[in-house]
Amino acid sequence: DAGVIQSPRHEVTEMGQEVTLRCKPISGHDYLFWYRQTMMRGLELLIYFNNNVPIDDSGMPEDRFSAKMPNASFSTLKIQPSEPRDSAVYFCASSSPGYGDQPQHFGDGTRLSIL
Amino acid sequence: AQRVTQPEKLLSVFKGAPVELKCNYSYSGSPELFWYVQYSRQRLQLLLRHISRESIKGFTADLNKGETSFHLKKPFAQEEDSAMYYCALESGGGADGLTFGKGTHLIIQP
């Protein structure tokens, strides 16, 4: 298995533009998590899904952020409109606790820079 | 609310010296605790978890509920241990997101 796959690896765009980050979880994992990593705040959970349903989005910073999981193999995190303070590394992770105490597996992250 | 604290942003030790990365947590229930490591230009990966009571790459961590700590230790540091280390807490038995500390950058000097 290739693990959790995120795209793009890097994104540079101007403020005000829409940004879409993508994630493909490990096949068979029924939990998917989005995290944001910044120097100031470290790693923060934004939202997570179970069986494609959002369970907790309390970490989503503002209405400009939205996440979807249309099927078990794909999720998007969208920022519209983007702002410079959204610049961070965004990680996706997946897990399958139904098969025991499995740790979360992380993708390589998307490094987002908003100019 | 749960919280994970890693008091050291940066820790620099010489090769062969002992290493201890501190982690304290606050959580009212029974937590599950993990250490994740991120080597340069690599993805975040699990190093060890408290329930396994295992030693990975010479690292160990013991959960001390009395002190609410989960410090990561290694008796003899190696240069390849240089990385970012994150302590994380999971409250839901695998069904919740992880709460991370802010990380400690470990630098092993030759």
Candidate from A69-73, A101-105, B21-25, B41-45 with smallest mean pLDDT: A101-105
Q: How far is B21 from A57, CA to CA, in rounded Å?
A: 31
H or E stretch at B102: none
Query: Half-sphere exposure (CA, 13 Å, Cβ side) for A76?
Result: 9
According to DSSP, the β-strands at B60-61 and B19-21 are unpaired
Q: Are A95 and B102 in contact (CB < 8 Å)?
A: no
- Cβ burial of A112 (10 Å; 0-12, 13-18, 19+) is buried
Shortest Cα distance from A85 to chain B (angstroms)?
Answer: 18
Q: Are A101 and B93 in contact (CB < 8 Å)?
A: yes
The conformational region for residue A59 under phi > 0 = left, psi -120 to 50 = alpha, else beta, is alpha
**pLDDT tens string B50-77:** 877 778 899 999 899 899 999 999 999 9
| Closest CB to A104 among B93, B98, B102 | B98
Shortest Cα distance from A17 to chain B (angstroms)?
Answer: 27
Q: Are B86 and A56 in contact (CB < 8 Å)?
A: no
- Sign for the CA dihedral angle at A46, A48, A54, A58 comes to negative
User: Pick from B44, B39, B3: which is nearest to A90 by CA?
Assistant: B44
